A and B are shown apart, each in its own frame.
Chain A
Amino acid sequence: MAQGKAAVIRSDLDIVIARTLARDTAKMLGFGAIDQARIATAVSELARNIFLYAGTGTVTVREIERPGRKGLEVICEDQGPGIANIDLVMRDGYSTSRGMGMGLPGAKRLMDEFDIRSQEGAGTTIICRKWRT
């Protein structure tokens, strides 16, 4: 489980596959129904972001542990154009395309931890975590 399971994003069908993978993993790890929905929804937003802006990428879901608690980690990686201004895309309502401008900030609100790294021309990596309560 440490390696996790990955979904390759190439089409809008893969967005559904990625969020189903996230939900199934969350369920297996003992997350409740509401957290399962939060995790699945966040992964849906992040996977769509990969599809819309990078074209292809991967979403990996794995179990993580810290002393006294267990959780789920989602790693989204792409080699797309990258994000020039992270502060701007993390702002509610900002959108460059078909989105409502709540993909990334929305996903951040649904998860407990959210880390985004991006380099223009090299790609974007987003790591987010949800801890089991």
Chain B
Amino acid sequence: MESLRIPILKIGDVLIASIQVALHDASAVQFKDDLLQRIYETKARGLIVDLTAVDVVDSFIGRLISDIASMAGLMGTRVVITGLQPAVAITLVELGLELPQVLTALNLEKGLAALRRQVEEGGDGAG
């Protein structure tokens, strides 16, 4: 079956992807690969993954988010996860997945602001 593709938007040097559908495993892995490829092509300095519309994050998706942040970080791109619903935050912690290494923000606007600060402090994004 053809997996769902999640649109990745580019605004300036930031990529934004908002997950609006229930991801099954294959489409989630496709999403990770697409994101890394787009980072490579666009040389984006920041990436926001917005989860406002996501109502379940299980250990598979949780690990994927953590992997995206680590892999993009290796490429020199800062990642911010935005819009975690309260119920998702609670289940993630109860599940044992606290994602301590992942930068998060309450919403897209605060995520963009956090990313700008990170990129400025980090200079070239390599810091």
| Chain A residues with a Cβ under 8 A of chain B | 12-13, 15-16, 19-20, 23, 33-34, 36-38, 40-41, 44-45, 48, 92, 98-100, 102-103, 105-106, 109-110
Report how far A109 CA is from B96 CA in the complex, Å. Answer: 9
Give the residues from 53 to 91 in chain B that come closer than 8 angstroms, CB to CB, to chain A. Answer: 55-60, 62-63, 85-88, 90-91
Judge whether B25 is part of the interface by a CB distance below 8 angstroms. Answer: yes
User: Which chain A positions have C-beta within 8 A of B56?
Assistant: 19, 23, 37, 40-41, 44
Contact with A along B12-52 (1 / 0, CB 8 A): 00000000001111100000000000000000000000000
User: Which chain A positions have C-beta within 8 A of B1?
Assistant: 13
Judge whether B97 is part of the interface by a CB distance below 8 angstroms. Answer: yes
Report how far A23 CA is from B55 CA in the complex, Å. Answer: 10
Residue with the greatest number of chain B CB neighbours at <10 A, chosen from A16, A92, A99, A103: A16
Report how far A15 CA is from B25 CA in the complex, Å. Answer: 9
Report how far A104 CA is from B22 CA in the complex, Å. Answer: 22
| Chain B residues with a Cβ under 8 A of chain A | 1, 22-26, 55-60, 62-63, 85-88, 90-91, 94-97
Report how far A120 CA is from B119 CA in the complex, Å. Answer: 53
User: Which chain B positions have C-beta within 8 A of A33?
Assistant: 86-87
18 contacts between A and B (CB under 8 A): A15-B24, A15-B25, A19-B56, A34-B87, A36-B87, A37-B56, A38-B87, A41-B56, A44-B58, A44-B60, A45-B95, A100-B62, A100-B63, A102-B95, A103-B59, A106-B94, A106-B96, A110-B94
- Nearest residue, chain A, Cβ from B21: A16
- Contact assessment for B26 and A45 in the assembled complex, using a CB-CB cutoff below 8 Å: no
Residues A99 and B59 in contact in the complex (CB < 8 Å), given A106-B96, A109-B96 = yes
Q: Taking the nearest CB of chain A, how far is it from the CB of B50, in angstroms?
A: 18
- Nearest residue, chain B, Cβ from A22: B56
- Contact assessment for B22 and A16 in the assembled complex, using a CB-CB cutoff below 8 Å: yes
Report how far A15 CA is from B28 CA in the complex, Å. Answer: 13
User: Which chain A positions have C-beta within 8 A of B63?
Assistant: 100
Q: Taking the nearest CB of chain A, how far is it from the CB of B72, in angstroms?
A: 19
- Contact assessment for A102 and B97 in the assembled complex, using a CB-CB cutoff below 8 Å: yes
- Contact assessment for A92 and B96 in the assembled complex, using a CB-CB cutoff below 8 Å: yes
- Nearest residue, chain B, Cβ from A107: B95
User: Which chain A positions have C-beta within 8 A of B25?
Assistant: 12, 15, 48
Q: Taking the nearest CB of chain B, how far is it from the CB of A132, in angstroms?
A: 16
- Contact assessment for A37 and B87 in the assembled complex, using a CB-CB cutoff below 8 Å: yes
